[in-house]
Amino acid sequence: MSPAELSQLLHRHHGDPNRLLQMLREVQAAAGWVSPEVITELAKGLTLPRARVEGVATFYTLLATRPRGEYQVLFADNIIERFHGSVALRERLCAALGVAPGALRPDGRVSVGTTSCIGLSDQPASLLVNGLAIARLTVERVDAIAALIGQRAPLDQWPAELFHVDEPIRRAGLLLGAHLEPGAAVRAALARSSEALLEELKRSKLRGRGGAGFSTHDKWRAARDAPGPTRFVVCNADEGEPGTFKDRTLLRRQLDAVLDGMTVAAHAIGAQRGFIYLRGEYLFIAPAIEAALAARRAAHLLGRDVLGRTGFDFDLELHLGAGAYVCGEESALLESLEGRRGIPRRRPPYPVTHGYLQRPTVVNNVETFASVAHVALAGGARFAELGTERSTGTRVHSVSGDCARPGLYELPMGASVRELLDACGAEAPIQAVQVGGPSRTLLSPRELDRALCFEDLPSAGAFMVFGPQRDLLEVVASFARFFAHESCGFCTPCRVGTTQLQGAVDALVGGRGTRRDVRHALRLCALMRDASHCGLGTTAGRPFMQLYEKFKPTIERSLSSLEFRPTFDLDEALAPARALTGRDDERAHLEDP
């Protein structure tokens, strides 16, 4: 990047250090990587310590601080993708391009790596090329990609069809079936005082859809009552939990409901500004969001005096993440919004009083805001008619895995697991279902009558089905790899524990595991659960623990010898010295016991 381009970039972002991540994303897009020189210049331009900028640049998966090629391909390495042959497809692409996995081709043209789930498990396998998603990979599509890269075709000349992302809505309800006029919910909200609006929200008993199920009313009221003149509304569209993609669909099919919901929130709590924090992997949705924001400004749904209401000034900005699951945690998200490394904050204080820029802030999930629009339109009581006593409304499930019809299913809260399995055409026998992604619940076939709601199975919406042909250890190993890759590294138990757990589980998958590995793994799970700083670490051990509790025979079968086995392959460890000395005598080998 030239100095002139850099100074333009700084200018466009008003030299605002809070926008550092956005600037780094633009540098990445323009130059293909963030070079040390650019880091130095950005730091100067923003009067930040250089090391602080470097710290941010090296935190996010989608930013490269070493050259990674004109074409940077990242295969989604989720277990669903693996079961759809992503490993073989990746190898095929590497072979076609003559590049080693993870490495940069010597001519600097291309690299092919992996990343976590990119929110396309309903249409696996999938990848990102220079940040843009390509789904439904087949041998043919991979060969086409190889050819385009081979010809050095610019991305904007690739067939648009390659980048097409489906939205397989299989069952629509209150949210997905709606046809809302942009601004309809804002109008309805403005007809009420903010207090009346909060009362309506209370009546709806709406609970947050991001996973924890916190009362939306309580959160908003706390933010409204917090002292200070400035308030913020933040939409959490980070959707990083493997197997979840319903926010993608809501943003593409019900965007105005979401934006209405955010504007309603602004009215309720007295906020002037809001942000949509969109995961970087959803770059392909960004243009539509920007367009909708522009349209809403033109229609006076955003900006000064929204819908003519004097004094109601509210505007929204789109912020993109850059590949970090932990940024879905609300306080890490706020750090990231402020242009920093996505490290979860210490609590208390909570975002409702000390959020963005330490001001009162509500952070809600995409689906929560979409639900809010319906509460504002039809009233809280109507909303509460749906679902169960303590989980009102509907829930959009992201269904993937071994079933005939993966996709989006909106069901009233409280539907049973079996109902959803029947709806998606999952054939018996089912081996297991993962509800809510790796951080939630692994269900055995004995638990299929459990209810999908906060009282029983809280979930951020992921629903992965595993048939009898699947190796659950491989599933758990994939989850362990996910947590190790996504740990922010702030606290000891999660930083080191996730990597250690990955090692122990990999040993089990490879057939080298022993009871000692099982004991180590369980100890690590407990350690992470009890001592971690945030939800990522406290839940990182759940998949293995639940496998141990519910599928013990799967673990038992994998154990090599019953008590002890070397932690590494002894004979393999002699291989380098054997090769160098040319020896192959008996003493140049070690056998496993």
Partner 1 sequence: MKGTFTLDGSEVPFHEGQTVLEAARDAGRYIPHLCAHPEFEPHGSCRVCTVKAEGRMAAACTLPAREGLAVESATDELRELRRGLVQLLFVEGNHFCPSCEKSGDCQLQAVGYALEVRSLHFPQLFPDRPLDASHPDVLLDFNRCILCELCVRASAEVDHKSVFALGGRGIDKHLIVNAESGRLADTSLSVTDTAVGVCPVGVILKKGRGFTVPLGQRTYDRAPIDAPPEKAGKP
Partner 2 sequence: MKKLKVATASLAGCFGCHMSLLDIDERLFTLLEKVELDRSPLTDFKQFGPCDLGLVEGGLCNAENVEVLRELRRHCKVLVAVGACAINGGLPAQRNHLDVRECLTSVYGRTVPDDPELPLPLDRVHAINDVVKVDYFLPGCPPSAEALWHFLDDFLNGRTPHLGHGLISYD
Ligand X SMILES: Cc1cc2nc3c(=O)[nH]c(=O)nc-3n(C[C@H](O)[C@H](O)[C@H](O)COP(=O)(O)O)c2cc1C
Give the binding site for ligand X (CB under 6 A): 208-212, 214, 236, 238-241, 326, 328-330, 363-365, 368, 534-536
Q: Minimum distance between the CB of residue 340 and ligand SF4, rounded to whole angstroms? A: 14
Q: Are 393 and 370 in contact (CB under 8 A)?
A: no
298 binds, among partner 2, ligand X, partner 1, none (CB under 5 to 8 A by kind): none
Chain centroid to Cα 23, Å, comes to 21
**Per CB under 8 A, 490 contacts partner 1:** yes
Angle at 320 between CA 396 and CA 542, to 5 degrees: 50
**Per CB under 8 A, 353 contacts partner 1:** no
Is the bond leading into 125 cis (omega within 30 degrees of zero)? yes
In this chain, which residue has its C-beta nearest to ligand SF4? 537
Q: Which position has the token pair 């890490």?
A: 332
User: What single DSSP character describes residue 450?
Assistant: -
Q: Minimum distance between the CB of residue 431 and ligand X, rounded to whole angstroms? A: 27
564 binds, among partner 2, ligand SF4, partner 1, none (CB under 5 to 8 A by kind): partner 2
> Which chain residues interact with ligand SF4 by CB under 6 A?
326, 344, 487-491, 494-495, 532-534, 536-537
**Per CB under 8 A, 587 contacts partner 2:** yes
Q: Tokens representing 505?
A: 């589980």
Q: Which of 63, 81, 36, 84 is nearest to 131 (CA)?
A: 63
- Radius of gyration from C-alpha coordinates of the chain: 25
Q: Number of residues in contact with partner 1, rule: CB under 8 A?
A: 44
**Per CB under 8 A, 577 contacts partner 2:** yes
Please name the residue ranges forming H helices in 226-254.
246-253
Q: x/- site string to partner 1, residues 25 to 44, per CB under 8 A?
A: -----------xx-xx----
288 binds, among ligand SF4, ligand X, partner 2, none (CB under 5 to 8 A by kind): none
29 binds, among ligand SF4, partner 1, ligand X, none (CB under 5 to 8 A by kind): none
37 binds, among ligand SF4, partner 2, partner 1, none (CB under 5 to 8 A by kind): partner 1
Chain centroid to Cα 80, Å, comes to 15
Q: Which residues lie below 8 Å from residue 547, measured CB to CB, with a gap of 6+? A: 442, 472, 473, 476, 554, 555
211 binds, among partner 1, ligand X, partner 2, none (CB under 5 to 8 A by kind): ligand X
Which CB, 388 or 487, lies closer to ligand SF4?
A: 487
Q: Minimum distance between the CB of residue 518 and partner 1, rounded to whole angstroms? A: 14
**Per CB under 8 A, 497 contacts partner 1:** yes
Q: Are 326 and 344 in contact (CB under 8 A)?
A: yes
- Please state, in angstroms and rounded to a whole number, the distance separating the CA atoms of residues 324 and 524: 23
Q: Tokens representing 466?
A: 């595993």
203 binds, among partner 1, ligand SF4, ligand X, none (CB under 5 to 8 A by kind): none
Q: Which residues lie below 8 Å from residue 172, measured CB to CB, with a gap of 6+? A: 410
- Please state, in angstroms and rounded to a whole number, the distance separating the CA atoms of residues 522 and 501: 9
Which residues here bind partner 2, judged by CB under 8 A?
Answer: 516, 563-564, 566-568, 570, 573-583, 585-590, 593
